[in-house]
Amino acid sequence: MQQGISVIIPALNEAVCIADTLESASYIAETELIVVDGGSEDRTVEIARSRGAAVLTAARGRAGQMNVGARIARGDVLLFLHADTRLPQGFSDEARRTLTSPGVAAGAFSLRLDAEDWPLRWIERMANWRSRALQLPYGDQGFFLKAELFRRLGGFPELPLMEDVEMARRVRRCGRIAISPLAAVTSARRWESRGVLRTTALNQLFLLAYFLGMPPRRIARWYYPKSKFRTT
């Protein structure tokens, strides 16, 4: 029996994005919206509450924030969403359809970036190829799975970075990760602020370092050189 879908959003100073993200998740009446704030100093919490989300607070760190949200979630499907990512229409039915496919343990949406620069189309193609060929979606694609499986796996590993990669590795032991043709639209701000080539090269370098066994905390210090870590 369907119990609904819980959308869990870790946030930190996301007043610019959070309203649009929550609106994209509100098309389905039975959707449960949970925002877990890591100590925002802007209007993130106020906006989230005004949009009907349950708002929790937790220590800063995306993995831990998502785990806190999952603990109170009532849905039989959990969908973890970055605060600057908008879901496609029909996301709930699509998530359920995906999870009922034979051999599928989890799923994610395709990636689309919200800027028109042509290099970003290349980034989208590469990300969608990686997701499908390697069954390795990132958190900015919206990651969903049955609540029962999530809890059986013990939730997200409490890492300062690469929690989505490690979670995907654990889920793949239980079944396939399917990528929906429907696209989640993610802010291109990281690529725009840091440069497309630089951001892409660093992302691949950090991923390689992780697979070679470098501690995630050390990678996080490179990724977030001006702060301990962020959530988006």
pLDDT of residue 230: 46
pLDDT of residue 222: 67
Paired tokens of 59: 């220590």
| Cα(53)–Cα(103) distance, integer angstroms | 33
Q: Where are the domains of the chain?
A: 5-223
pLDDT of residue 226: 55
For 148-166, b/e burial (b = at least 16 CB within 10 A) is: ebbeebebbbebbbbbbbb
Quickly list DSSP for the chain: ----EEEEEEESS-TTTHHHHHHHT-SSTTPEEEEEES--SSSHHHHHHHTT-EEEE--S-HHHHHHHHHHH---SEEEE--TTEEPPTTHHHHHHHHHTSTTEEEEEEEEEES---HHHHHHHHHHHHHHHHH----GGG-EEEEHHHHHHTTSS---SS-HHHHHHHHHHTTSEEEEEEEEEEE--HHHHHH-HHHHHHHHHHHHHHHHTT--HHHHHHHHSTTSS----
List the pLDDT tens digit at each of the 232 positions of the chain: 457 999 999 999 999 999 999 999 987 767 999 999 999 999 999 999 999 999 999 999 999 999 999 999 999 999 999 999 999 999 999 999 999 999 999 999 999 999 888 889 999 999 999 999 999 999 899 999 999 999 999 999 988 778 998 999 999 999 999 999 999 999 998 887 777 777 777 777 777 777 777 776 776 676 665 544 444 4
Fold that domain 5-223 belongs to in CATH: Spore Coat Polysaccharide Biosynthesis Protein SpsA; Chain A (3.90.550)
| CB-CB contact of 51 with 22 (8 Å) | yes
| Cα(17)–Cα(39) distance, integer angstroms | 16
- Residues 6 or more apart in contact with residue 91 via CB below 8 angstroms: 24, 25, 27, 28, 79, 109, 142, 182, 184
Paired tokens of 31: 């959707």
pLDDT of residue 42: 97
pLDDT of residue 232: 45
| CB-CB contact of 108 with 141 (8 Å) | yes
| Cα(133)–Cα(169) distance, integer angstroms | 14
